Amino acid sequence: MNEIDYKNLVPYGDTTGDGALQLSFTFPVEPSPKAQEAAAQMVRDWGFSDVKVAHMSSVGVGYAYFVIFCRTQRGVNFEKVEVPELTGQRLNYKEIDKRILEEIGRPIRVVGANTGFDAHTVGLDAILNMKGFDGDVGLERYKGFSTVNMGSQVLPAELIDRAIKEKADAILISKIVTQKDIHIADMKDVILHLRKRGMEKRFILVVGGPRVTHKLALEMGYDAGFSIGSYPSDVAYFLLEKMLERLGKKK
């Protein structure tokens, strides 16, 4: 097996260092030999080599979809990549429950919602609903959490009002739809509403979604961002640690 060059890390196909990757995109033209060559030429112009159009098909009148196989030796210095990460132990819900009740002495109050016009609740439900996700139970199952799931298309003002009413410790926001960066606009909207009320520091603010990163969340004024690969217990553990920090009890 070839040794991995972390100073020039390239994609992996079936051999270390082969730089093989797959691209997909849509052209606003009908599928044709000319469209196929245009797709290949564009990818070559981007600097990729060994370009092959693996798939071309129509995705509606006037649109052609492509899957391209190609290679590159232009990598990234993996050793110099810096990104803020959420760190901590992965505890099961019983262990987290025990710590909340022993170290905080009451349930952590959480209000969750999907704000804006996003009608998808799959991420929110995966974290909050009792059944959870992939065998990892949701916050409703915990004795250490008191949860309110407001569902989708909730206005920021409504979310904040409910959080105040419930005397919430934390607000959880799910953002699934990302077209035209609407998730970023929605995330900003919540922060702006909190700032107008002078409450941006009152709640622990957590946001999650497929295009949300911890770095993005921090930049926008949230306490944490969870993305693909996150589980309810990850969110639960973060809320536990953040609550202990706020109460001055973190060891």
Give the amino acid at 205.
L
Cite the DSSP H helix spans in the chain.
Answer: 33-45, 93-99, 122-128, 156-165, 182-196, 214-219, 232-246
Q: How many CA atoms lie within 13 A of 213 on its CB side?
A: 6
Nearby residues of 105 by Cβ (< 8 Å), 6 or more positions away: none
User: Taking Cα atoms as reference points, which of 160, 237, 166, 172 lies closest to residue 200?
Assistant: 160
What beta strand segments (E) does 132-182 contain? 145-149, 170-174
The answer to whether 143 is a known catalytic residue is no
Q: Check if the beta carbon of residue 206 is closer than 8 Å to that of residue 223.
A: yes
Annotated catalytic residue: which of 131, 143, 196, 215? Answer: 131
User: Taking Cα atoms as reference points, which of 174, 177, 9 lies closest to residue 81?
Assistant: 9
Strands 64-71, 20-27: pairing kind: antiparallel
> Catalytic residues, which ones?
131
